[in-house]
Amino acid sequence: MKNAWMDINEQLAEHEYVVGICFGAYGWSSLPSDLETADYSDLGWGEEEVPNPIPWNMRRKVLSVEEAMPLMQGWSFAGGYGAPECYATYIWTNKRVFWVTQYDGATSLNSVPRNPEGCNPNMPGG
C-alpha cells in the first residue's frame, strides 16, 4: 500500500525529525475557496481514488506529526508521469523544509536547509 509518511521517513537524515506538515490541493487541482462548505464532489481529479482523502478542515493549516501521519496512507509522493497523484505539501523538519517537485509529471520530494547555511544548491527539473 502507498504510504506518503514512509516516503518522508526515507528522506530524513540522522537526528532529523518532522515538526509540521501542511496539505493543499491534490494533483493539478485547486482547493475550493470555502473549505467549510466543500464536500466529496469538490475533490480534485484522481483524488476520489485515494482511500481516505484528506478532510477539508485539515488542509491549509500546519498539522503535527500525530495529526498528519494517519492522513498519509494510500498515496505517495513518488509518482509516475502524468497528473501528480499526491497532495501539494510543505514539510518542516528541525533541519529542512520539503515540498513536492514535479518534472514532466514525475513527482518527488525536494528540500532546502531550514536556516541559511553553506551547501550545494540544486536545481530540480530537466
pLDDT tens-digit series, residues 5-43: 999 999 999 999 999 999 999 998 999 999 999 998 899
Which tops the pLDDT comparison, 83 or 121?
121
113 forms bridges with which residues in the sheet? 96
> Which residue in 77, 78, 103 sits closest to 90, CA to CA?
77
Q: Average the pLDDT over 40-56 and give the result.
A: 92
**Contact between 84 and 105 (Cβ < 8 Å):** yes
Q: Which domain holds residue 8?
A: 4-113
Q: What is the pLDDT of residue 83?
A: 82
| Assigned domain for 120 exists | no
Pairing of strands 18-26, 96-103: unpaired
| Assigned domain for 47 exists | yes
| Assigned domain for 10 exists | yes
Q: Considering the entire predicted model, what is its pTM? A: 0.92
Grid cell locating 30: 485547486
Domain total in the chain = 1
